């Protein structure tokens, strides 16, 4: 059988005769398709309110069933791909950029960062070593130093400090894993690289810590049996007296406290652990202190919220995600350590095929030694584009507006006696529930989400079902928050 490629080239399929390859996209087609795609993205984002935040009718398997079961044997015009984006993909996604998206934490994608992402794909470099693309490494190092400055972080995290430095990880989960591995290396004086023995190591986090801490500990061979869950106070922050007590008990039992994760802005309620006090306990017991500020750390871009950094000058490592609240599209987690030797001890490896004069001179950074995978994209471009083209002032304004809207929402909620606020709301997350109880709150969340007009996630605080109202989309305005609140009020009847 002879098929004709859309672009005019013949392609033979099946077993009869030799296969004639289709011609890949030409430079001119790439240019035109690119313009069409940028138009498509712009129209999507600007027209996003026409979509329900989620498609309540979508069933598992619907998206797949709308597409051919087998790969095409001939090329198709780009128009056909765009048509399927409209017909199949859009009805099948949750619209994270929607201004009425109040679920999880935000995952903004500004226009500038999208172009940075595209540039990274266009350059197509692998930045595992300095020599494999010097600009990829050097721009990343500079961006981490810029962000240290913009966030007002301790100098000891800077790349030009004596012992510290920063790197872009894909996610806060990867940053946590890197911190655990560095801590494990330090606690065993590097011996873990030889005998793999972690049997005496113990880690500490709270009931409110992100699940990635447990995942990281499992991957690192520590396991949940040696992960201590420190109780929290009435504001969901770590109780340092409990941490002290638990560590002493572990030491008394012959174990070695090696890692503590403090959170600045927990996922359930944006609680802040008392990092300075936790650090004193860690230092007394030689444990590594990692601070996870995945969402809330970005607030420090506005100087009046720099309190989110309290205690960081005493931490061994820190991470925050521009891919949540700063507008830099996923994936972009910033990870700093004040002890790069431990990180490099855990993760450096130099096979023959990666040897270079630059690597061995010690004069350059090879970021493959700062992360789990070898290969890495030019991710700093999207941060660089965003800082340069959107500008920090516009991002500060967005953060301030989200905090203002959260405060305004809190006032509305307080005025409706059916609802109660169940946790402090220092930034842009409000946790509320119906006084009627768990069932009523769960039902309200479910029925609201089914409308497609707004999206919320549920959590449990103090054994009570809680609706998280997370305000972080760059398109969200007062109107969207008010409409979502009125929707909750009307469905709470
Ligand atoms: N830590 C906290 C406090 C979070 O809120 C989240 C996600 O919301 C994470 C870690 C995980 O983030 P990531 O998706 O970047 O791994």
pLDDT tens figures, 64-118: 999 999 999 899 999 999 999 999 999 999 999 999 999 999 999 999 999 999 9
CB of 317 within 6 A of ligand 1: the answer is no
At which of 345, 362, 389 does a domain end? Answer: 389
The pairing of strands 288-292 and 317-320 is parallel
C-beta of residue 466 within 8 angstroms of C-beta of residue 459: yes
C-alpha closest to that of 435 among 407, 413, 408:
413
Query: Residue 425: helix, strand or coil by DSSP?
Result: coil
193-219 average pLDDT score: 96
Radius of gyration of the chain (CA): 25
Residue 14: predicted pLDDT? 42
Residue 298 and residue 308: Cα distance in Å, rounded? 9
The pLDDT score that the predictor gives to residue 7 is 53
Query: How would residue 21 be classed by pLDDT, with cut points 50, 70 and 90?
Result: low
Residue 420 lies in a domain: no
| CATH number, position 183 | 3.40.640.10
What pLDDT is attached to residue 350? 77
Residue entry with tokens 């800077």? 158
Is the alpha carbon torsion for 154, 159, 164, 168 positive or negative?
Answer: positive
The CA distance from 302 to 317, in Å, is 22
Percent of the chain topping pLDDT 90: 90
| In contact, 425 and 436? CB cutoff 8 Å | no
Same structural domain for residues 276 and 172? Answer: yes
Report yes or no on 41 lying in a domain: yes
- Determine whether the shortest distance from the Cβ of 333 to ligand 1 is under 6 A: yes
Coil, helix or strand at residue 8: coil
Ligand 1 binding pocket includes 204 (Cβ within 6 Å): no
Please identify, by atom number, the ligand 1 atom nearest to the C-alpha of residue 333.
Answer: 15
- CA 116/CA 383 separation, integer angstroms: 7
Name the residue of 215, 262, 321 whose CB sits within 8 Å of the most ligand 1 atoms, as the mutation to test its pocket: 321
CA dist., res. 389 & res. 111, Å (int): 9
- Nearby residues of 173 by Cβ (< 8 Å), 6 or more positions away: 210, 212, 215, 216
Q: Could you tell me what percent of the chain has a pLDDT over 70?
A: 96
| Residue 19, pLDDT score | 52
- Does residue 63 register a pLDDT over 60? yes
- For 18, the token pair is 């030799």
Ligand 1 and 117: CB distance under 6 A = no
Q: How far apart are CA 73 and CA 161, in angstroms?
A: 56
Q: Is the full-model pTM beyond 0.85?
A: yes
Backbone angles phi, psi at 288, to 5 degrees: -75, 135
Q: 212, 293, 470: which to mutate for ligand 1, most atoms within 8 A of CB? A: 212
Whether residue 427 lies inside any domain: the answer is: no
306 lies in a domain? yes
pLDDT digits 0-9 by tens, 219-231: 999 989 999 999 9
Measured in angstroms, how far is the CA atom of residue 290 from the centroid of ligand 1?
14
Task: State the average pLDDT over residues 242-256.
Answer: 98
Q: Same structural domain for residues 88 and 152?
A: no
More confident residue, 14 or 451: 451
Give yes or no: residues 209 and 333 share one domain. Answer: yes
Same domain, 273 and 202: yes
User: Both 28 and 172 in a single domain?
Assistant: no
Query: Residue 16's pLDDT is what?
Result: 47
**Cα-to-centroid distance, 172 and ligand 1 (Å):** 5
Domain for residue 455, yes or no?
no
Rounded CA gap, 204 and 257, in Å? 8
Q: Report CA(229)–ligand 1 centroid distance (Å).
A: 18
Is the pLDDT at 339 greater than 50, yes or no? yes
ω before 331 within 30° of 0 (cis)?
yes
The reported pLDDT for the residue numbered 110 is 96
Residue 291 domain flag: yes
Distance 85 CA to ligand 1 centre (A): 29
Cα 96 from Cα 338, distance rounded (Å): 34
Angle, to 10 degrees, between the axis of helix 172-187 and the axis of helix 340-347? 90
pLDDT over 60 (residue 49)? yes
Each as own residue / partner, the long-range contacts of residues 46-53 (CB below 8 Å, 24 or more positions apart, any chain) are 48/95, 48/97, 48/98, 48/99, 48/475, 49/98, 49/99, 49/100, 51/90, 51/95, 51/98, 52/95, 52/451, 52/452, 52/453, 53/94, 53/95, 53/98, 53/100, 53/101, 53/452, 53/453, 53/454, 53/455
How many Å apart are CA 10 and CA 374, to the nearest integer?
40
Which of ligand 1's atoms lies nearest the C-alpha of 266?
3
Residue 293 Cβ < 6 Å to ligand 1: no
d(CA 244, CA 255): 14
229 part of a folded domain: yes
Q: What φ, ψ does residue 423 adopt, rounded to 5°?
A: -155, 155
**Burial category of 21 from C-beta neighbours within 10 Å (exposed 0-12, middle 13-18, buried 19 and up):** exposed
Residue 411 above 60 pLDDT?
yes
One domain for residues 91 and 124: no
Q: Which of 334, 354, 389 lies at the terminal end of a domain, its last residue? A: 389
Do 207 and 324 sit in the same domain of this protein? yes
Domain span including residue 48:
11-95
Question: Do residues 50 and 196 share a domain?
Answer: no
Contact 284, 257 (CB under 8 A): no
- Which residues pair with residue 334 across a beta bridge? 168, 320
pLDDT at 182 over 60: yes
Q: Is the CB of 177 under 6 A from ligand 1?
A: no
In 3D, which of 150, 122, 155, 45 has the Cα closest to residue 90? 45
Closest C-alpha to 265, from 339, 204, 324:
324
Within 10 angstroms of residue 77's Cβ, the number of other Cβ atoms is 12
CA distance linking residue 400 with residue 394, whole number of Å: 10
Same domain, 120 and 87: no
Looking at residue 75, which CATH number applies to its domain?
Answer: 1.20.1340.10
Q: Where would I find the H helices in 290-388?
A: 322-325, 340-347, 357-361, 380-385
321 ligand 1 Cβ < 6 A: yes
Q: Which of 389, 423, 439 is the last residue of a domain?
A: 389
Which pLDDT does position 10 carry in this prediction? 40
| Domain identity same for 16 and 65 | yes
- Contact by Cβ (8 Å): 339, 163: yes
Q: Note whether 87 and 119 are same-domain residues.
A: no
Q: Is residue 305 part of a domain?
A: yes
For residue 330 and ligand 1, the question of a CB distance below 6 A is answered with no
Co-location of 376 and 269 in the same domain? yes
The residues that bridge with 230 in the sheet, in sequence order, are: 206
Q: What does the pLDDT average to over 282-298?
A: 97
Number of domains, the chain: 2
Which of 103, 169, 172 is the best mutation target for the ligand 1 pocket, counting ligand atoms within 8 Å of the beta carbon and taking the most?
172
* Tokens of residue 412, six digits: 């509305």
């Amino acid at each position: 059988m002879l098929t004709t490629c859309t672009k005019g080239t013949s392609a033979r399929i099946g077993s009869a005769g030799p296969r004639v390859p289709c011609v890949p996209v030409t430079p001119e087609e790439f240019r035109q398709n690119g313009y069409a795609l940028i138009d498509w993205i712009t129209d999507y984002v600007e027209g996003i309110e026409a979509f329900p935040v989620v498609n309540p009718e979508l069933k598992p398997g619907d998206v797949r069933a709308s597409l051919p079961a087998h790969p095409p044997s001939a090329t198709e015009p780009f128009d056909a791909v765009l048509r399927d984006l409209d017909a199949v993909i859009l009805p099948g996604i949750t619209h994270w950029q929607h201004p009425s998206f109040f679920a999880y934490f935000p995952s903004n994608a500004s226009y500038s960062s999208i172009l940075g992402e595209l540039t990274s794909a266009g350059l197509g470099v692998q930045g595992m070593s300095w020599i494999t693309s010097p600009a990829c490494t050097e721009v990343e190092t500079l961006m981490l130093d810029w962000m240290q400055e913009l966030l007002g972080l301790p100098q000891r995290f800077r790349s030009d400090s004596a012992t510290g430095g920063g790197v872009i990880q894909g996610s806060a989960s990867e940053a946590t894993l890197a911190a655990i591995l560095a801590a494990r290396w330090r606690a065993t004086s590097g011996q873990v690289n030889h005998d793999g023995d972690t049997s005496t190591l113990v880690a500490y986090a709270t009931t409110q810590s992100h699940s990635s801490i447990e995942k990281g500990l499992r991957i690192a061979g520590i396991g949940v049996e040696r992960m201590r869950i420190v109780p929290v106070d009435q504001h969901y922050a770590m109780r340092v007296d409990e941490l002290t007590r638990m560590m002493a008990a572990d030491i008394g039992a012959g174990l070695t406290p090696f890692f503590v994760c403090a959170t600045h802005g927990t996922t359930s309620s944006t609680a802040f652990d008392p990092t300075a006090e936790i650090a004193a306990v860690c230092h007394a017991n030689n444990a590594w202190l990692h601070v996870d500020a995945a969402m809330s750390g970005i607030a420090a871009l506005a100087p009046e919220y720099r309190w989110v950094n309290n205690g960081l000058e005493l931490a061994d490592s820190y991470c925050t995600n521009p891919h949540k609240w700063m507008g830099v599209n996923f994936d972009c987690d910033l990870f700093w350590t004040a002890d790069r030797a431990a990180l490099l001890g855990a993760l450096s490896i130099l096979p023959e095929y990666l040897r270079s004069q630059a690597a061995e001179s010690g004069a350059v950074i090879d970021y493959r030694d700062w992360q789990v995978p070898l290969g890495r994209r030019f991710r700093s471009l999207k941060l660089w584009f965003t800082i340069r083209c959107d500008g920090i002032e516009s991002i500060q304004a967005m953060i301030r507006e989200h905090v203002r809207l959260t405060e305004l929402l809190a006032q509305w909620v307080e005025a409706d006696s059916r609802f109660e606020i169940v946790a402090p709301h220092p930034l842009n997350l409000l946790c509320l529930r119906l006084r009627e109880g768990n069932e009523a709150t769960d039902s309200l969340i479910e029925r609201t989400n089914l409308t497609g007009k707004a999206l919320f996630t549920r959590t449990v605080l103090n054994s009570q079902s809680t609706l998280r109202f997370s305000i972080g989309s760059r398109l969200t305005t007062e109107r969207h928050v008010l409409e979502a609140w009125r929707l909750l009020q009307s469905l709470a009847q």
